[in-house]
Amino acid sequence: MKPIKTVKTILGRELPDYIEGYGEVKPFQGAFSDGGIKTRKAVKLTNVRPGDRKVLASLEEALDKANIDDGMTISFHHHLRNGDHVLNMVVEALARRGIKDLTIAASSIFPVHAPLVEHMRSGVVTGMIANYMLGPVPEAISRGELKKPALMQTHGGRARAIESGELHIDVAFIAAPTADTYGNINGVYGKSACGTLGYAVSDAEYADKTIAITDNLVSFPACPIEISQVFVDYVVQVESIGDPEGIVSGTTKITKDPVALIIAKRAAEVMKASGLVKEGMSFQTGAGGTSLAVAAELKGIMKREEVVGSFAAGGITGYLVEMLEEGLFRTLFDVQCFDLKAIESYRDNARHQVMSASMYGNPHTKGAVVNNLDIMILGATEIDTEFNVNVTTGSNGVIIGGSGGHSDTAAGSKLAIVVTKLMKARLSMIKAKVTTITTPGENIDVVVTERGIAVNPKRVDLLEKLSKTKLPLMTIEELKTLAEKITGVPKGIETSEKIVAVVEYRDGSVIDVVRMV
């Protein structure tokens, strides 16, 4: 082992220049410091000829054919969310075979994936790569139960890593709500329908082997085709790929919390004052109650002012579908459907378009959708006075999320608004230093709370516009002081030196690490 030196990110975080189980550390140098020529990697494949069959008798046969061995990286997509059966099914089968030292590259991990904890302990799984993790798995990782540090990426960063070859996938397992006998896949039909399969596209295209696992095997050809036969080696039929109750929520609903509604109203006023709410505008928000309340406020303004937007993007909810159907947006870009209404709309309305994770946020393409975003509504678990945002760890230092598309959309959008209560669970949301930096402050334009609104001082133009309104502007330091008057100054959390997760920015540099609590 070579001696470890310390390197510093542009945000001042000190990192080792080499992390065992991860490799060389390229410290974060700014959101747009990654110039130059980029590469989509070469892919090796075994061609399929007339007469060859892809449907195998069982998962076991597919594992035989894919030659999965110790130390390999296998990938999964998270469109079945907390209803996913596929990841557990595959890892369990590999554990039974005595395979060790697997790295799981899943676009996200949910509580349903709790059995992974046992596989981590037994050495079946020694590496984890994800954009978002919730539940027992990240809790175990935070306690130091994974052999190598986990790697946390962004949605766009994961696609970049796969397509560039930085993240090599030996075998991709594609949970397929519908697959035909020749490997064409869609997510809109079948008992486990989940809508678009945007997060699975790079996996299917760039893995050494791609295996579709379906509980709705149909005759050739499937229609529509979201992932093409030309990328799929084998098709396996199983009883169930997921639990519909965990896959989609019934209806996503706007919050009724009066404080959250005030925040939403203020966020809408910020948007309006920014001058971006105009013909051709674009917008993205999350699926949470407050995020939807912001969408509802925006809807009111767009209707009153007769504004037609170009697109709304992201994970799509029924609420955005309604806005599409009412003609408030010309199209939707959908990387995952959050509810049944979104699935139906994507299936039936040509203006509800899919985007792959790469098209959504990969910074190393000829232009991701986030680059054309005007307004982005973001959440936060912590914000610091440099506007850096943490959505990776809780205030106790335990991993409870990750960037997902947070950093991608913040970087791409003209106006990135963090909406948050000033305090949560008697803790101030504004810190001198956030526990983990997920998204750099340079890409956060304004923080909206119920008590006050802080504009990033970099955005002189925005500050000027907002100064003409009656919005309660203050500096981020003032917001922090205001909160701390009530909550007191939060104590820092104590961590060991051991690094349990590496947080990669979308360009593949390391923006922070998570240390064992």
Q: Smallest distance, Å, CB 346 to its own copies? A: 12
Copy the structure tokens of residue 408: 């991608």
Convert residues 173-212 into a mask of x (bound to its own copies by CB under 8 A) and - (unbound).
---------xx--------------------------x--
Within 10 A of 492 (CB to CB), how many other CB atoms are there? 11
Q: Applying CB under 8 A, does 489 fall inside the site for its own copies? A: no
Q: Write the burial class of residue 48 (CB in 10 Å: 0-12 exposed, 13-18 middle, 19+ buried).
A: middle
Q: Are 176 and 185 in contact (CB under 8 A)?
A: yes
CB of 257 to its own copies, least distance (A): 33
Q: Measured between alpha carbons, how far is residue 462 from residues 306, 312, 371, 377, 468 in Å?
A: 23, 22, 19, 16, 10
Closest approach of Cβ 234 to its own copies, in Å? Answer: 9
Q: Is 43 in the site for its own copies (CB under 8 A)?
A: yes
Site membership for its own copies, residue 327 (CB under 8 A)? no
Q: Quick check: helix, strand or coil at residue 13?
A: coil
Q: Which of 228, 385, 481, 495 binds its own copies (CB under 8 A)?
A: 228
How many residues interact with its own copies (rule CB under 8 A)? 60
Torsion angle of alpha carbons 386, 380, 439, 137, nearest 10°? 140
Residue 354 CB, nearest distance to its own copies (Å)? 9
**C-alpha pair distances (Å), 197 with each of 216, 221, 236, 334:** 15, 18, 18, 9
Q: Which two tokens stand for residue 331?
A: 């199209």
**Angstrom distance (rounded) from CA 110 to CA 115:** 11
Cα–Cα distance for residue pair 384/370, rounded to 1 Å: 24
Shortest distance, position 222 Cβ to its own copies, whole Å: 9
- 476: which 2 tokens? 């981020």
The contact pattern for its own copies, residues 357-386, with x = CB under 8 A and - = no contact, is -xx--xxxxxxxxxxx--------------
Taking a C-beta distance cutoff of 8 angstroms, is the pair 158, 363 a contact?
A: no
The least distance separating its own copies from the CB of residue 158, rounded to whole angstroms, comes to: 15
Other beta carbons within 10 angstroms of residue 292's beta carbon come to: 23
Residue 505 in the binding site for its own copies (CB under 8 A):
no
Q: Which of 41, 96, 97, 191 is close enough to bind its own copies by CB under 8 A? A: 41
Among positions 412, 440, 441, 508, the unique one binding its own copies when judged by CB under 8 A: 412
Q: Is 426 in the site for its own copies (CB under 8 A)?
A: no
Among 2, 49, 256, 468, binds its own copies (CB under 8 A): 49
Using CB under 8 A, pick the residue from 29, 88, 331, 487 that binds its own copies: 331
Answer yes or no whether residue 169 interacts with its own copies by CB under 8 A. Answer: no
In the complex with its own copies, which residue's Cβ is closer, 218 or 262? 218
d(CA 380, CA 263) in angstroms, rounded, equals 14
Please state the closest distance from residue 57 (CB atom) to its own copies, in A. Answer: 19
**Site stretch for its own copies (CB under 8 A), options 74-82, 108-116, 225-233, 455-463:** 225-233
User: What is the DSSP annotation of 158-224?
Assistant: HHHHHHHTSS--SEEEEEESEEETTS-EESSSSTT--S--GGGHHHHHHSSEEEEEES-EEPSSPSS
The number of residues making up the chain comes to 517
Residues 108-127 that bind its own copies (CB under 8 A): none
Among residues 81 and 352, whose Cβ is nearest to its own copies?
352
| Residue 142 interacting with its own copies (CB under 8 A) | no
Phi, psi of 503 (to 5 degrees): -100, 110
Asked whether position 306 contacts its own copies by CB under 8 A, the answer is: no
1 binds its own copies (CB under 8 A): no
For the bound state, the minimum distance from the C-beta of residue 487 to its own copies, rounded and expressed in Å, comes to 36
Give the residue, chosen from 10, 18, 21, 40, that forms a contact with its own copies under the rule CB under 8 A.
40
Residues 20-39 that bind its own copies (CB under 8 A): 32, 34, 37-39
Other Cβ atoms within 10 Å of 304 Cβ, number = 8
For the CB of residue 364, give the shortest distance to its own copies in the complex, in Å.
5
Asked whether the beta carbons of 343 and 193 are under 8 A apart, the reply is: yes
Amino acid at 224: P
Q: Is 330 in the site for its own copies (CB under 8 A)?
A: yes
Measured CA to CA, the distance from residue 175 to residue 187 in angstroms comes to 9
- Residue 232 binds its own copies (CB under 8 A): yes
Which residue is listed with tokens 């997920």? Answer: 438
Give me the least distance between CB of 165 and its own copies, in Å please.
8
Under the rule (CB under 8 A), what is the footprint of its own copies? 32, 34, 37-52, 54, 182-183, 210, 219-221, 223-225, 228-233, 280, 310-311, 330-331, 333, 350-351, 353, 358-359, 362-372, 411-414
